[in-house]
Chains A and B, each alone.
Chain A
Amino acid sequence: GAVVSQHPSRVICKSGTSVKIECRSLDFQATTMFWYRQFPKKSLMLMATSNEGSKATYEQGVEKDKFLINHASLTLSTLTVTSAHPEDSSFYICSAPSGVNEQFFGPGTRLTVL
């Protein structure tokens, strides 16, 4: 199946700093990618839809100025957590659709903000 990668897989940062997470579709192009957040023992919650060539669409309650999304190319979307705080610590997962049936998920990025 199609492969989606994320980088980094794990990051620890100090409170107040910004962290960039990359999501790449390795063997297919994706005009749309999705960013999810998952807290411990909870389900995935959609944060935003990343659109190549246009602005991202954010879910209700997600601050667009805090979670900056850039869909730089047909194979790359980035999520930047700005001025990170401990409550932003979470597992961030991206996905991209390929073909007509499936979405492929990245392996996730675990963010810990100290």
Chain B
Amino acid sequence: DAKTTQPPSMDCAEGRAANLPCNHSTISGNEYVYWYRQIHSQGPQYIIHGLKNNETNEMASLIITEDRKSSTLILPHATLRDTAVYYCIVRVAPGNAGNMLTFGGGTRLMVKP
């Protein structure tokens, strides 16, 4: 799986949008971008994934650049409960959910009142 690079930490004001960047310059054509988050002392939670088109669900939006070498996870209205470590993971296509996930360092997002 391709390696990803994320800033180690970010702050965001409550109610504002949180934009979390991820670089994955060595991504290959059959690899998707997945985002998970881990709230303190809990297991990781799936957020969203995409291949090349922008994606949106009830939790977040995922913006992938045209060359697919980077992406941004957007939490449109961050709340205190969004404080967590966010992991950007690149992995082979869906249909292989049985493949393990390789976690990098992630970004520690602190949402402040």
Q: Which residues of A contact B (CB under 8 A)?
A: 1, 4, 6, 31-32, 34, 36, 43-46, 49, 91, 93, 95, 97-108, 110
Contact = CB atoms under 8 A, between A and B. Distances in A.
A67 to B, nearest CB: 16
Interface residues of B, number: 21
Nearest to A104: B46
9 contacts: A4-B43, A31-B98, A46-B100, A46-B101, A95-B101, A97-B99, A103-B97, A105-B45, A108-B42
A110 B40 CA distance: 12
Contacts of A6: 43
A95 B101 CA distance: 10
Interface of B: 38, 41-46, 49, 87, 94-95, 97-106
Which DSSP category, helix, strand, loop or mixed, fits chain B's interface?
A: loop
Which DSSP category, helix, strand, loop or mixed, fits chain A's interface?
A: strand
Given A43-B106, A100-B94, A93 B100 contact: no
B46 A102 contact: yes
Contacts of A95: 43-44, 101
- Which of A6, A43, A108 has the largest count of B CB atoms less than 10 A from its CB? A43
A44 B113 CA distance: 29
